[in-house]
Structure 1
Amino acid sequence: MIKYRITPLSISEHLFAVSMVVSAGDRHTVTLSLPSWIPGSYMIRDFAKNLIGLNCANKEVIVTQLDKQTWRVQQSRGLPLGDIQLDYQVFAFDLSVRAAYINDEYAFFNGTSVFLKVVEFEHTEHHVCVDKSHLKSWEKLANAIEIITSMPCVDNSNTTAQTRHFLCSDYLTMVDHPVVIGQFTRASFELDGVTFHAVFTGNHKLNLARICKDLQPICKHHISLFSEIPVSEYWFITLLCKNGFGGLEHTASTILQYAYDALPKPNENDGMEEGYRDFLSLCSHELFHTWHVKRNKPDVYLSPDLSQEVYSPQLWIYEGFTSLYDDLTLARTGLITPEEYCKIVGQNITRLLRNPGRHKQSIEESSFNAWTKFYKQDANSVNHIVSYYLKGGIAALAIDIKIRQLSQQQYNLDHVMQAIWNQFGSKNIGTPDEVIKTICQDTLGLDLSAFIDLTSKTTQDLPLSELLQTIGLSMHLRSRTGNDDKGGIESSGESTRDFGALLNDQTIGCKVTQILDGRAASLAGLQLNDHIIALNGLEVNAKSLMRELNTMDVGTEAQIHILRDGRLLCLSLPVIEAEKDTCYLSINDQSMFAKWLGIA
């Protein structure tokens, strides 16, 4: 057994103290390592950079670092190690869902950031003691400070105890249960024999009753879809902040990051503001991963090597399909109207249409290269990559409609999800790369190979307009009205001329923050960070630039004055027709669309 004790040591220095006891027995050497990445977030993060002062209490034991994240432990006289204690600290100031963070409200950690793995014993039992007693500045709140986690507890369920003890079957299981220590606003509800907890950091005034009421149909939908839920207790844990957004799935919980002002206050019982809708969608997304990512998963992720990249072309199946179901569930359960759902889909299609990289990278390639491209984006990424979340969700929508067409409405994507769960996830079997094709062929009796290849292996645009017609929707394209136009709705005041760049207003003029490949700004030779001062001799900002450009005839040129690295330049901007890169949907057959949503 490997034993850990972890405690928040310092708020001001953002430090956890970790002590671990290794029962090495007759072994003369053991190897320690800290993960480089956390499952669900496919980027090397080098968590070991935050580890401080690893040492052994027994001075006869030598600890030697082998590389950035690996250490060898051995007895100086060549004797068996027996039981050894190792101590270290972890710097915790990453305000995200992926690592560890300490401030005056709470202390949070993922196990991948704080718990060294003993390579030779990673498959043995791991015992964790979480201790809140060292933080002197929290003494006045001692009785209110809780230790919250989904990790299996072995001593008591009293979350306010000074210490809580947990036991996991192996290292990978242990690090899949994040822990938060602090004062919380929280509530619970029961559904189908499962206890769901909604936990929010801090002492913020929230309408917990409404949040729990709105979460229940989402949970019910997902459980009904898969016909079971593989946990008896589930935790929605939200790290509240002024501005932030994120979520990371775990075996029996999710860690969310969200803006507290976007959540309903105690007297707010009606309406569905966009910020709150997006929170419910995020909860829907991460809960869906309880089946589809944490159990259904590519075969290479059954026992992943957390020290290096683990590649798979299947991420579009997991994040993309989940991205379809997160908002679709809100519509199916009546939390949003069919019209509101159409607006969301229109905005998603708009984002894809404004992504020139969709013609240079398939979603299988996007999945495989997530480590270096999707998770390490820069201002030019829009021109050469595509999101396996975004296009993957739209591809899932297209595949669902195609299944319905070929099966004369007998089957849909729900049947595919159920088959993946029954044949793979529930049996702890990893999925092969062609799993969707195989299930369509062998389980549903449908040959979708060519269409699935089109959606996942090529960079061709999907026939969305034709497909959407078959579920009662019409797809419309228009030009954007300005930088803030996200699409999804019909609008007047569209730009008639193309610019093809995003701008950020400055005290004088505006700065170029993104340039789209092949559009007017690119043809003019504009570059990232160029500071636009004037168009045709007139000082402009982002809005007035487009207003002036819209007055010009196609085929002429505008003179644009910029500052680039301290140099004043004049460029010729070709005046061309605006791209119709903005989508909105309309419902032309209410009955047909309601039937597709499953609310008829």
Structure 2
Amino acid sequence: MFKNNALLHYHLAVHSWEQHTFRVTLSIPAHDSNTLSLTLPAWIPGSYMIRDFARQIIRLQATDENGTVLLSHKQDKQTWEIATHGQPVQISYDVFAFDLSVRSAYINDEYAFCNGTSVFLQIKEATHLPCTLTINAPEDTAKSVHTSMAQIPDTAFTYNAGNYDELIDHPIFIGRCVTRDIVVNDVTFTLLFSGEPVLALDRIARDLVPVCEHHMQLFGDPQPIQHYLFMTLLSSSGFGGLEHRNSTALLFPRGDLPMPGEEGTTDSYINFLSLCSHELFHTWNVKRIKPALMVAPDLSKEAYTPQLWIYEGFTSFYDDLTLARSGVVSPQKYLDILSAHLTRVLQGAGRHKQSAAESSFDAWTRFYKQDANSPNHIVSYYTKGGIIAFGLDLLLRRKSDGRVSLDTLMQHLWNDYGKDESGTPDEVIESLCHRAFGIDVSDYLSAVVYGTEDVPLQEYLSDIGLALHFRCRQSSDDKGGHKPDSTGNRHQLGASVKSAAMGVTVLQVAEGLAAEQAGLQINDTIIAADGTVVDDKLLQRYLNASASASLSLTVARDGRLIHCDLPVLRAREDVGYFTIEDTQRFERWLGLI
């Protein structure tokens, strides 16, 4: 249809900073067809939800070499058919960009950001053709252009991509920012932060060096990247990350990053380093080691796979572990973080109803479309997947007398499936453990991945010098991860709440606990207990002190006042924490000695 040397050329410009619009032109060479079909992806790889990016295209027009407008027909929500008659064609369209997210496109006064899936139309008949992209230089000299796409030498903001899939795998930033480069094992990592923030850039760069070293050493040479871009969009709030082949787009609160001269490592800063670690690990485990279905996914519809517990779960295990291995956090702090993840899993009744494999498969309709009742019905393939990875590491070490670990498994995944990007089958973990190590992990996977059993950590923890304990929550914001200073709450509401103008509003109701038995519903406002107006802390104090079988609650529900009896039930011990019983064993497991 197209000649062998045919090339598609895209041009991207910020059309209006005030109206938040990009303008894109696509130049298509001569071809052998009367019509061409153009489409925009419905989802972006790494985020498993239909987002219908084409709804943000404001107008679309096709013209021939003479500027004559060609007939176009919209076939469905994301596809246009253009009557080209085989001649060269230029497509021009505008894209509205005001979604502050790492998954789409956003323009404000400081910067413009986009993913290719939001702005670059695909020619169905030409997905294999190489592409070039020219980005308009911003008129404001304080604004600059950044992307991990390969720049054509001796050009101003012109880049090339081998095909459409490569074109859309490099997010683009145009605007004000601060940057810092670090070089690790001959690979350059660029740290970019949007706007003009006051940050301790030297410290952030220094803390990320061992994180980069760890991931690169784990998978070994040759490295799949020569340059990597950490692109961080700063905001007042918001959190997220999305992996790409040679970069990541991050969203993070600007106030949670360290400023020059500040000492200490806050939990929020640890979250940032963990997010960077997570997305960089995806360079190997998702962008190259990937489910066979994701090697060439159809971006117009859902792509179902039961394997996300491997890709997000294993990565969630390594993101924090890397911080401990590299000395960014202490061994005890790492255990506190791990305990918090375990506690999140244990406090959800959904873990008994949905397996990690089912959670992976249903990501499109359940995990990415959660509501307040979701913890009672689903389990996270991120958090439980991370605990599964931890248990699998301990199991492999025990069955091999310490010769095999999860590290060894990841290296085999990289060598067998990642380097050539051949794609993994659904049973890859079981088959690889058997083939490469002679270890049978089928019973373990059957119970905790394909079944709904909890990961049996207690069976293996003594091997690495740890013990696991359980206790009651000490407060509403107790996430686990530390030895209790007191006995904790005697009795449990069984719901999460937030402050209201008077009383507290119910956000979630846990299955089987007191709030559900009392008939409390999401969005109820608990005004009073036993006739006294309460807030979160006072309500808990009433529960702890109560010697009666129930508390009388006054509740506002949809404009009505109702009364209900809240059973006073003993609090569950569903908060986990680890203690170090043998420091040498634990530090050996971490790789510190």
Common fold by TM > 0.5: yes
Residue of 254, 265, 271 corresponding to 1:260: 254
- Answer yes or no: is 1:521 the counterpart of 2:526: no
Q: Structure 2 counterpart of 1:151, which letter?
A: M
- Which residue pairs with 1:288 in the alignment? 281
Q: Structure 2 counterpart of 1:43, which letter?
A: M
Task: Quote the Cα distance in structure 2 between the aligned partners of 1:535 and 1:210.
Answer: 49
Task: Quote the Cα distance in structure 2 between the aligned partners of 1:531 and 1:217.
Answer: 48
- Which residue pairs with 1:89 in the alignment? 94
- Which residue pairs with 1:437 in the alignment? 430
Q: Deviations over 1:112-156 (max 9, x none)?
A: 0000000000111111111134xxxxx4x32x3211000011144
- Which residue pairs with 1:37 in the alignment? 43
Q: Deviations over 1:400-450 (max 9, x none)?
A: 000001001111000000000000010121000111111110101111111
- Which residue pairs with 1:160 in the alignment? none
> Cα offset for 1:573?
1.4
Bigger mean CA offset, 308-317 vs 185-194: 185-194
Task: Quote the Cα distance in structure 2 between the aligned partners of 1:367 and 1:527.
Answer: 29
SS of aligned partner of 1:416? helix
- Answer yes or no: is 1:62 the counterpart of 2:71: yes
Structure 1 unaligned blocks of 5 or more: 134-138, 158-162
- After the TM superposition, which residues 243-392 of structure 1 pair with which residues of structure 2 at under 5 Å, given as runs? 243-268=237-262, 270-392=263-385
- Which residue pairs with 1:136 in the alignment? none
- Answer yes or no: is 1:233 the counterpart of 2:242: no
> Cα offset for 1:283?
0.6
Q: Deviations over 1:501-523 (max 9, x none)?
A: 01111121111110001111001
Task: Quote the Cα distance in structure 2 between the aligned partners of 1:481 and 1:507.
Answer: 25
> Cα offset for 1:467?
2.3
Residue of 160, 168, 186 corresponding to 2:161: 168
Q: Cα RMSD (Å) of the superposition? A: 1.2
Equivalent residues of 1:480, 1:582 under 8 A apart: yes
Which runs of 4 or more aligned residues in structure 1 lie more than 3 Å from their structure 2 counterparts after TM superposition?
none
Task: Quote the Cα distance in structure 2 between the aligned partners of 1:377 and 1:60.
Answer: 45
Q: Deviations over 1:238-264 (max 9, x none)?
A: 111111211100000001111112112
Q: Structure 1 counterpart of 2:531, which letter?
A: G
Equivalent residues of 1:8, 1:132 under 8 A apart: no
- Answer yes or no: is 1:21 the counterpart of 2:15: no
Q: Structure 2 counterpart of 1:29, which letter?
A: T
- Which residue pairs with 1:51 in the alignment? 57
TM-score normalised by length of structure 1: 0.95
Task: Quote the Cα distance in structure 2 between the aligned partners of 1:273 and 1:410.
Answer: 36
- Answer yes or no: is 1:117 the counterpart of 2:122: yes
- Which residue pairs with 1:127 in the alignment? 132
Task: Quote the Cα distance in structure 2 between the aligned partners of 1:455 and 1:521.
Answer: 29
- Which residue pairs with 1:106 in the alignment? 111
> Cα offset for 1:81?
2.8
Q: Structure 2 counterpart of 1:244, which letter?
A: G
Equivalent residues of 1:251, 1:290 under 8 A apart: yes
> Cα offset for 1:488?
0.6
SS of aligned partner of 1:424? helix
Q: Deviations over 1:34-88 (max 9, x none)?
A: 000000000000001100110113445211000000010114xxxx231001111
Q: Deviations over 1:167-226 (max 9, x none)?
A: 111101100011000121111121212111111111112121111111111111111100
Q: Alignment identity in percent? A: 47
- After the TM superposition, which residues 362-511 of structure 1 pair with which residues of structure 2 at under 5 Å, given as runs? 362-491=355-484, 492=486, 494-511=488-505
Task: Quote the Cα distance in structure 1 between the aligned partners of 2:546 and 2:188.
Answer: 63
Q: Structure 2 counterpart of 1:478, which letter?
A: R
Task: Quote the Cα distance in structure 1 between the aligned partners of 2:428 and 2:410.
Answer: 11
- After the TM superposition, which residues 177-196 of structure 1 pair with which residues of structure 2 at under 5 Å, given as runs? 177-196=170-189
Q: Structure 2 counterpart of 1:145, which letter?
A: K
SS of aligned partner of 1:112? helix
- Which residue pairs with 2:562 in the alignment? 569
- Answer yes or no: is 1:596 the counterpart of 2:589: yes
> Cα offset for 1:493?
5.4
Equivalent residues of 2:472, 2:487 under 8 A apart: no
Equivalent residues of 2:482, 2:577 under 8 A apart: yes
SS of aligned partner of 1:148? strand
SS of aligned partner of 2:150? coil
Q: Structure 2 counterpart of 1:266, which letter?
A: P
SS of aligned partner of 1:294? coil
Task: Quote the Cα distance in structure 1 between the aligned partners of 2:425 and 2:314.
Answer: 16
Equivalent residues of 2:465, 2:585 under 8 A apart: yes
Q: Deviations over 1:286-339 (max 9, x none)?
A: 000000000000000000000000000000000000000000000001111101
Equivalent residues of 1:94, 1:100 under 8 A apart: yes
- After the TM superposition, which residues 146-165 of structure 1 pair with which residues of structure 2 at under 5 Å, given as runs? 146-156=144-154, 163-165=156-158
- Which residue pairs with 2:16 in the alignment? 10
- Which residue pairs with 2:543 in the alignment? 549
Q: Structure 2 counterpart of 1:167, which letter?
A: N
Equivalent residues of 1:24, 1:30 under 8 A apart: no
Equivalent residues of 1:155, 1:164 under 8 A apart: no
Q: Structure 1 counterpart of 2:83, which letter?
A: Q
SS of aligned partner of 2:561? strand
Task: Quote the Cα distance in structure 2 between the aligned partners of 1:496 and 1:308.
Answer: 49
How many residue pairs end up in the alignment?
Answer: 582
SS of aligned partner of 1:470? helix
Q: Structure 2 counterpart of 1:83, which letter?
A: P
> Cα offset for 1:469?
2.5
SS of aligned partner of 2:368? helix
Task: Quote the Cα distance in structure 2 between the aligned partners of 1:49 and 1:223.
Answer: 40
SS of aligned partner of 1:550? helix
SS of aligned partner of 2:83? strand
Task: Quote the Cα distance in structure 1 between the aligned partners of 2:154 and 2:556.
Answer: 65
Task: Quote the Cα distance in structure 2 between the aligned partners of 1:24 and 1:260.
Answer: 48
Equivalent residues of 2:61, 2:69 under 8 A apart: no
Task: Quote the Cα distance in structure 2 between the aligned partners of 1:568 and 1:166.
Answer: 63
Q: Deviations over 1:10-32 (max 9, x none)?
A: 11110001111111422101000
Task: Quote the Cα distance in structure 2 between the aligned partners of 1:506 and 1:207.
Answer: 37
Q: Structure 1 counterpart of 2:552, which letter?
A: Q
Equivalent residues of 2:98, 2:106 under 8 A apart: yes
Task: Quote the Cα distance in structure 2 between the aligned partners of 1:384 and 1:132.
Answer: 49
Bigger mean CA offset, 366-375 vs 488-497: 488-497
Task: Quote the Cα distance in structure 2 between the aligned partners of 1:11 and 1:146.
Answer: 15
Q: Deviations over 1:256-287 (max 9, x none)?
A: 1111121121223x421111111111111000
> Cα offset for 1:466?
2.6
Equivalent residues of 2:497, 2:507 under 8 A apart: yes
